[in-house]
Amino acid sequence: MSFFLAMTSTIYTKFAQQTIQHVVAKQSKLKKAFKIIGGLIVFFTLPTLLLFGFIYFKYNEELPTGEQGAKADQLATNMLQALNEEAYLNTAYIEWTFKGRHHYKWYKSDKTCEVYWDDFTVILDLENRNNSKVFVLEQEYNGIEKQDYITKAESYFNNDSFWLVAPYKVFDAGVERRLVKTEDQKNALLVTYTSGGTTPGDSYLWHLDDSGKPKSFQMWVDILPIEGIEATWENWITTESGAQLPTFHKFLFLGIELTDVKGLNL
């Protein structure tokens, strides 16, 4: 009986030792895996955090104050004259591609726009969105997601057209204009959209060249965590209609390209 107990004790001891070794080995592997995962997280996030911190402290600015009134309105008028606003107003049709992904045929005089992306086409009625139509693979779609596609197309249009024609919108309803003196004592135009669009409340500070033409703007917008980031307005072209439109914006380390830009009088 004592021999049997001794054998049982020995077997139990060996089993317990093996179990402990297995648990320790498993914990060691888990620790190693967590260390690897943690290292990867630090490897990828630390540079990102450092870069964000650098950009934040370098570029973040408070929204400047400015003076509303005749001087601000005159500066805005000078900008529009430098761009030949009359030609833009008489442009009935504008076509462009935004960053190679979204394509637009804007019948400006009819207040409609055809928006294309992936397999979707939305014919936006810019006055009454309920009259808009959706096509999937060239077949009209009236399913439960129709309104979602219309909303998405409208959001695309509001954003992507802004990068094309924003200077011409400075006298839109609900827009406030202020004259701002920059650090180098030049006049800049602060424009705030108090209503309309996708993100009302956004502000833009336009920097102008000697002719009054926009060369860049700084942005105070809800979608960006850093305030006052600057984007250029460059590579302007004169369309067939005479409207002047940009085809490139430099934004930090990124480029926003607008291609196949056309403006016609139909």
What does the pLDDT read at residue 201?
Answer: 83
CA angle 173, 179, 185 (to 5 degrees): 155
Condensed to tens digits (0 to 9), the pLDDT of residues 127-139 reads 999 999 999 999 9
138's torsion region: left (phi>0), alpha (psi -120 to 50) or beta? left
Give me the chain's average pLDDT, please: 84
Give pLDDT, residue 123.
98
pLDDT at 110 over 70: yes
For the cut 60, the answer to whether the pLDDT of residue 47 exceeds it is no
Task: Summarize pLDDT for 54-73 with one digit per residue, the tens.
Answer: 455 456 688 998 999 999 99
Give the pLDDT score at 252: 85
Per DSSP, helices labelled H in the chain are 2-59, 70-82, 85-89, 146-165
The DSSP-derived string for 14-59 is HHHHHHHHHHHHHHHHHHHHHHHHHHHHHHHHHHHHHHHHHHHHHH
Q: Which pLDDT score is estimated for 253? A: 83
pLDDT confidence bin for 12, thresholds 50/70/90:
very low
